[in-house]
Amino acid sequence: MITSTLAEVAAANLLATYFTLGAASPGSRIWHEPGFTACFAEWEHPICNFAANVKLSSEVASRLAQLAGERPNFNVYTFDALLSSHNCLELAGFKVRTRLVQMAWEPEEFAPVVQRPLAHPEGRQEIAHFMAWQFFGNQTADYRARLAETIVNARDLELVSFFHGRELAAAAMLSCSPEEILGVYNLCVKSSLRGRGWGRDLMLAIEAMAWQKHQTVILQCDASLKQWYAQVGFTQIGGVDIWGLPHERSLL
């Protein structure tokens, strides 16, 4: 059954995943202050410059605005299931950059039918570079290399993929925290193969993996992808807001 508790667990999975990635970024550090936990690094990417676990007050919002004002990119994550009001962030100058939809798939009586076999983490570095290219192909080679290094270093996150011949066709990052939840991140398909069912087949394979372990699959996506994920059995359970100061350069 889809419940608010599931949305809270999904939020916890996302935070565990983001802090794992943040900690894996070279030169990063994570620390706690009253009202939030933050990750900072010299690299400007939002993957390692953000705050979450936010318990809002005017003082906390002002402190977050101070930290964000010192950095080219700094995101604050809030969740529908964990926060009742955003007024403090708005008064401190933050604006919603992006709103993501939280979705969940729950195991049914019969396992999903898998069309293609998954390739597992023995090709971790190759998968990481593939992800970096698919999401940030317009960035510099150094930028993509840093992102790939971060993904490779986040050893607690499993990488799975499909091959088309000898080349990667599709890939995703998986996060199992807590153990009854399987989070899906960075799902991507090679640009020349999109629209041919590779993404759908990858999701079905992930669902089959979760079915065997009695896990619920969760993910966050742009609202434009909500219908696509609904076609593979996902239901909306909540939302995530990504906040930033207007002057920052968004790299989402």
pLDDT in tens, 167-198: 899 999 999 988 899 999 999 999 999 999 99
Q: Could you report the per-residue pLDDT of 201-252, keeping only the tens digit for each?
A: 999 999 999 999 999 999 999 999 999 999 999 999 999 999 999 975 554 4
4-101+240-244 and 121-236: identical CATH topology: yes
Answer for the pair 16, 251: CB distance below 8 angstroms, yes or no.
Answer: no
Beta-bridge partners for 173: 159, 185
Q: What is the CATH number of domain 121-236?
A: 3.40.630.30
- What's 4-101+240-244's CATH class? alpha beta
- pTM, whole model, 2 decimals? 0.90
d(CA 211, CA 105): 10
Contacts of residue 186, Cβ cutoff 8 Å, sequence gap at least 6? 131, 135, 151, 171, 172, 173
Residue 1, pLDDT > 50, answer: no
Q: Would you state the pLDDT for residue 122?
A: 62
Residue 138, pLDDT > 60, answer: yes
Q: Could you report the per-residue pLDDT of 5-28, keeping only the tens digit for each?
A: 899 999 999 999 999 999 999 899
- Average predicted confidence (pLDDT) for the chain: 90
Domain residues of the chain, as ranges?
4-101+240-244, 121-236
